[in-house]
Chain A
């Protein structure tokens, strides 16, 4: 073994010495098989197509493979929020921040009179078809998927109320606590669940939302919600099922990706609520409330353009077009 190693070292030194000497004359020793390999590489066959000239004139092999890349939602959407310490950051909603960080869900009471008023004054006059479809927004299908849900767009009065509510110091501290940054509202829509005894579809089925990082959901009850009104349900990390009953004005805030959840199908009473999507806001950015119908969140948070609403009279033409389109 030692002899082989000695011979190998001597050969290397000899080759190195000869190369050094030849180098001064502009030559170099190259093994025959290496030369063959180099000659093959420079031949004008299909390998030539894999060589691309670099700016300095050298040829380098072109990469014809694609590397794997993931585009999956995170396991939890609030990963960058520091662990909240109520002693260091006193807040009216400190216990709610702690509850959210522990459980991924919390319930905050808001003005019940205002909520009851909006239940009566807001218009739940739409189905769940997506009239705000946009290429830059993730959202529901164009066609409605159920008749058990009615939706509506919030009135200017409701938008003003929500703007004031979420801009207030308590909620500002709350979002900084649960997200680690301020929040804005990426969507607000009215949802009314009609009583039915059939199995729920869409949001009434167990699901996780696949929200992007920093995106959390909210549901503001506009009525008292008991077991017959289709309360919010979620499963914790141990797969235990929890039912969240509530009073008019209660706001549930939850990590819709971390917690499998559903709005259970109301069996006897109608549930009226406001569906909210919160997303991170840059520290120097103003609080905004976006209204984007049946969409969820923008494709790219850096470039957000509000989708336009498709006129209602375009629906029939669209339906006709859809019928003629089919995949194999």
Chain B
């Protein structure tokens, strides 16, 4: 019996606990009708600052472990771009097209809620360098430069890591924006052991995302954001206020759909040039694993 085999489109989602709402998520995307499946990895306590060490060139061990487990990396190399006969045999056995994987990283919320929010607590407010509908409270102001510096310190290593990912051949990587914070002040007191008004917390997340979007774009990647759909008056809509930290799965799905919408129109990146080279060599009767000497006119 000859039946058509259908495979899913995996989206690899890795990072802090904001990767959890995607766990076991599957849905049919609207462009081709393909099944999308989230393959997730929760790295406890993952922060932007510790994602990558620019001094050693090393990534967080759990991040590399995830890429290895999913077969995206072997011996420090992106397997989808490998011209190695072992990776070729693996691809042949899998029997599916080898294309650059779609990856989304969820990171940054701990950086915001940890060291950066400490600068403000219940005692200060700040003025961001962009328009916001959130009020300015009658509190002493922390200069934007200080906030900016604190965000830079957290984002610097992360962006350096993204740059390395791109250089390693992972060009279809997305970064999830930090989700709007809860409106529940009691939950924040419970989490942080101090108060901080929702307008200040939300504005800080806006500022972090504002910088994150620019920096992610600077390495030719994209940030996934649905702020206007998740908020009302720039504050988190009650229907998305789940456990005081995370989006519910229906909110996470909105973000994943945005990734799909972008990726379907970025298919210039899907061509696998190393595998075309192997294929071309084989068609010409050359040994695909021995680099051939170009001899055309």
Contacts and interface: CB of A to CB of B under 8 A. Distances in A.
Interface in B250-297: 257-258, 261-262, 264-265, 267-268, 270-286, 292, 294-297
B171 A215 contact: no
Given A80-B296, A322-B261, A280 B279 contact: yes
B143 interface: no
A284 to B, nearest CB: 10
Contacts of A63: 64, 75-76
A224 B60 CA distance: 62
Interface stretch (B97-105, B144-152, B186-194, B231-239): B97-105
Contacts of B294: 79-80
B90 interface: no
A325 B280 contact: no
A248 interface: no
A16 B280 CA distance: 55
Interface string A171-194: 000000001111000000000000
B32 interface: yes
Given A102-B297, A212-B276, A300-B99, A69 B283 contact: no
A327 B224 contact: yes
Interface residues of A, number: 70
B66 to A, nearest CB: 12
A148 interface: no
B133 interface: no
Given A79-B294, A142-B31, A327-B224, A67 B280 contact: no
B115 interface: no
B124 to A, nearest CB: 26
A72 B265 CA distance: 19
Contacts of B272: 71, 212, 299-300
A180 B61 CA distance: 45
A65 B59 contact: yes
Q: Interface residues of A: mostly helix, strand, loop or mixed?
A: loop
Given A69-B169, A318-B30, A324-B229, A181 B271 contact: no
A255 to B, nearest CB: 10
A79 B96 CA distance: 27
A304 B73 CA distance: 24
Contacts of A78: 296
Contacts of A64: 56, 58-61, 64
Nearest to B60: A64
Interface stretch (A25-33, A81-89, A152-160): A81-89
Contact of A67 (B58, B64, B168, B267): B168
Nearest to B95: A303
B142 interface: no
Contacts of B76: 63, 65-67
B291 to A, nearest CB: 11
Contacts of B279: 213-214, 280, 301-302
B91 interface: yes
A260 interface: no
Given A142-B31, A321-B30, A283 B225 contact: no
Contacts of A181: 280, 283-285
Given A50-B61, A71-B169, A135 B270 contact: yes
B96 A212 contact: no
Nearest to B280: A214
Contacts of A135: 9, 32, 34, 99, 264, 267, 270
B164 interface: yes
A307 B267 CA distance: 14
A98 B296 CA distance: 11
Given A74-B277, A327-B224, A328-B225, A82 B267 contact: no
A95 B296 CA distance: 15
Contacts of B81: 69-71
A10 to B, nearest CB: 39
Contacts of A69: 77-78, 81-82, 167-169
Q: What are the 6 tightest A-B residue pairs by CB atom distance, in nearest-first order?
A: A212-B276, A214-B280, A66-B168, A328-B225, A280-B283, A64-B58
7 contacts: A65-B58, A71-B272, A135-B99, A182-B283, A212-B271, A213-B280, A299-B97
Given A80-B295, A213-B280, A326-B228, 9 more contacts: A64-B64, A65-B56, A83-B296, A134-B32, A137-B267, A181-B280, A300-B272, A302-B98, A302-B278
